[in-house]
Structure 1
Amino acid sequence: MDTVASNRTRWVQLLLGLIVMMTISSPQYVWTLFVKPFQTATGASLAAVQVTFTIVIVLQTFFSPVQGWLLDRFSPKLLIAAGAAMSGLGWVAASYSESLFGLYASYGLLCGLGTGIVYVGIVGLMVRWFPDRRGFAVGVVAAGYGMGAIGTTFPISDMIAASGFRHTLLVFGLILGAIGFLAALGLRSPKPSEIVPVPPGRTASAARDTAPAEMLRTPLFWLMFLMMTMMSTGGLMVVAQFASFARDFGVADALVFGFAALPFALTFDRITNGLTRPFFGWVSDHYGRENTMAVAFALEAVAIVCLLVWRENPYAFALLSGVVFFAWGEIFSLFPSTLTDTFGTKHATTNYGFLYMAQGVGSLLGGPVAAMIYASAGSWIPVFSIAIVLDLITAVLAYFVLKPARRRWLGVNGAESVGIEPVRRPALS
């Protein structure tokens, strides 16, 4: 196949991947709209109902290695389509749930497994289709997941008010599930003749593919896992408690550009959290993964410091929160592209499944740990301080530890990358 046709095909694949990712965004990002109705319907406590969301996140992240293994061995098209259908079916089944168990088994189980299959599968396909633009391509589909709910939030809210939450779950479950299923049927892995050649020195590309078992024995993988866990934990310490500290700072209901500061900030943050993924992915394609990580992670630390200093100014709070999200969301484009650069594409989906578990660890640590620290200290300042320290440590690790470690790995494997000159072993005389 000629280069022009191959290039056109992969952009179509990127578009289809973006659409599917957008259809699985709502179960996570619109969940908050259904909490109170489910409390009323089941008569359960807030904590008991919120277990549903925990199930979604745990199944989405901690089962990702198994999901990745299946995707690497069977048709990604059919599995991703099944995942999209499961996510929609979770909403349909939840519309009939009358008990906590039914809610956990429908919304929690089906949406959690479905979104995990789709997320890991789409990322695994994009790193194969775009060896020369991995950061950007992964960033685009990750942005679809981060921003997809923007288009559904207000319609869902309006339908809940007009027709009730059960009818809303049924209608949107069918719509989102059908769109995701149909779009996924157009996805496929690239043929060898369709892979666009990588310009020399453009981006890292492992000389040999590394299987998951071997990858898990390398300190390099665990360094990436630690870094992603630290970034996820620090970011989620702020993200998960955002509304709470906005109220404590006294800015939640203050007006910003004619809008209440908290909803304005949440909308603005969702946009910046989506845009950062392709942006920093593109930057890393041109200037190196670790170089970009160091700058982005340090930027988040600075943004959190500024947010803390000007926390009582509603304008500064709203705008700086957008910078915090902008400097955090890029982990979902930088880490998968760096991992594939390092360990190859053959097992990319399974390998990323293991790394993606770091997001699950961060979600379990970030929210509960931040709440415990606040309850103990009676202040959000220690929480912010820990997030700042984690960001700075990870930025330092990216430039001074990960970069030379990958240089050694790529040198041994004969690969080259932007910002990383491989270490050549001296010739034997």
Structure 2
Amino acid sequence: MGMVIGGLVERKFGGRTGALLGSIIYTFGVGSTFYSIQHSYAATLLTMGGIASVGSSIAYSSILPTAQRWLPDNVGLAGGVIIGGYGCGAFILSPLQTTFINPLDYSVNDQGFFTQEDLLERVPYVFIVMAIFFTVFQSIGLIFVGQPSSDIHVETENLIGTNSEIRVEQARVWPQLRTTTFLVLFLSLTCNATWVQLTSGLYKAYGQQFIDSDFFLSLIGSISSVFNAGSRVFWGAIADTTSYRFSMSIVCSLGAVLAFCLPLVKMIDNDVLFLATVCLIFSCIGGTFSIFPFITHKCFSKANFSVMYGFLQCAVSVAGLIAGLISTHALNEIGFEYLFIVCGFFMLTSLFLTFIVHKTDLAQLMVTAEREHLEEDYQIYQ
């Protein structure tokens, strides 16, 4: 629900206030994990899984609509840049955490766990290091956050002008939550996010079965984060110039194929091939979290974007529960190979939903609006 809270805060107080609130909560959650991780799993779940997640969501949903206001005609690109920064953190954090915790490049035991005492003793302190790191970068970022001036003229006021668009703009949040458009997008994001959490959460454990170097696996995490961040800008621009259905269908198709191919990568036992596969997977992850803000803005209007996208992001929480149940109860029974095949079918389901979203109520209304724009442009030209 942090996304919803962030959307409401941004709507009432602005993006900088929302980002400041989210940053404080997030950094507090990370820093307090130094104590909670030494106390119990439940306490760690509260600070890192609860408090930090809420803070991150509030900041994320506050900054995203602010960026879109600066580029109203390129909301996909604007969202891609912001979300790219959101996904680029692993490029710095992954080697930072690995170097701090495991400077001697220890390997896991046969059960996939680190048991070296000196390594385990360093784990709590990494949260203090990260909290300091986040505080510095958040302070710098907040200085440059601001709303565009109201007297700045943009060539096209997105989603305002035609009768169909005005009806979308004036719709309240609750009626929009009951539309078939929201339902289809919610289910589609649930499928995509389940695939995201299973592949991104388990690729390292899977790689440890045939790759011994923890540093190389950390390198994979760093390089793939670059693909994750860069692809978000790329897919945002693609969505701007083409359509949601075109861009998302490519992401879902490629994601399904990559999940199906992961067992083959292990059979080939090639480190570089595994690196390339993971990088492509993270490119699809970037596409997922770049294209959904685009379609949310298009279907639910810029006036309702921050709140509606917050509600849509609840699908990620649902996906987290699904991914947790699958990885906890099914992984030991079916193994990594069959689990990744299941992941592929989640993306195929999302592909089907992508092809039918244009038949939903609000999506059809937006198609009508686009036709009205074309007719107006034609009349002006004549």
TM-score by length of structure 2 reads 0.80
- The 8 Å contact of residues 240 and 367 in structure 1, kept in 2 or not, is answered as no
Pick from 173, 180, 204 the counterpart of residue 138 of structure 2.
180
- Aligned runs of 1:276-315 on 2, under 5 Å? 276-313=231-268, 314=270, 315=272
Question: 1:253 maps to what in 2?
Answer: 212
1-side partners of 2:142 and 2:87: how far apart? 18
Contact map agreement 1:78 1:185 (CA 8 A) in 2? no
Checking the alignment, whether the CA contact within 8 Å between 2:34 and 2:127 is kept in structure 1 is yes
Distance 2:286 2:123 in 1: 30
- 1:93–1:106 contact (8 Å) kept in structure 2: yes
DSSP 3-state at the match of 1:79: helix
Percent identity over the alignment is 20
Cα deviation 1:110-168 (Å, max 9, x = unaligned): 32221111111111222222222111211111111111232244345545579955655
Compared CA separation, residues 384 and 416, structure 1 to 2 (3 A): farther
CA distance in 2, matches of 1:421, 1:383: 47
Q: Does 1:340 align with 2:301?
A: no
RMSD: 3.2
In structure 2, what is the Cα distance between the partners aligned to 1:170 and 1:317? 32
Q: Note closer, same or farther for the CA distance 1:115–1:199 as it changes in structure 2 (3 Å cut).
A: closer
AA partner of residue 83 (structure 1):
G
Shift of 1:199: 9.3
1:151 maps to 2:109: no
CA, structure 1 residues 294+171, in 2 after alignment: closer, same or farther (shift >3 Å)? Answer: closer
Q: Structure 2 counterpart of 1:351, which letter? A: M
Contact map agreement 2:236 2:291 (CA 8 A) in 1: yes
What do the CA deviations read for 1:72-92 (whole angstroms, capped 9, x no partner)?
122331221121122223333
* Superposition deviation, residue 304 in structure 1: 2.3
Unaligned runs of 5+ in 2: 104-120, 376-382
Question: Does structure 2 conserve the Cα–Cα contact (< 8 Å) formed by 1:72 and 1:349?
Answer: yes
Corresponding residue of 2:286: 329
Q: Secondary structure at the match of 1:330?
A: helix
Is the CA contact 2:74–2:240 (under 8 Å) kept in the aligned structure 1? yes
2:74 pairs with 1:74: no
Rounded to whole Å, the distance in 2 between the matches of 1:362 and 1:219 is 20
2:306 aligned with 1:367, yes or no? no
Cα separation, partners in 2 of 1:179 and 1:219, compared to 1, 3 Å: same
Please, which of 183, 202, 219 is the counterpart of residue 180 of structure 2? 219
User: What amino acid is the match of 2:313?
Assistant: Y
Give the number of equivalent residue pairs. Answer: 348
Q: Which has the higher contact order (CA 8 A, sep 6+)?
A: 2
Task: State yes or no: 1:237 paired with 2:198.
Answer: yes
Alpha-carbon distance in 2 for matches of 1:278, 1:416: 28
Deviation at 1:298, TM superposition (A): 0.6
AA in 2 matched with 1:290: R
Higher relative helix content: 2
Moved over 6 A (4+): none
Counterpart of 1:243, as a letter, is K
* Structure 2 counterpart of 1:99, from 31, 39, 46: 39
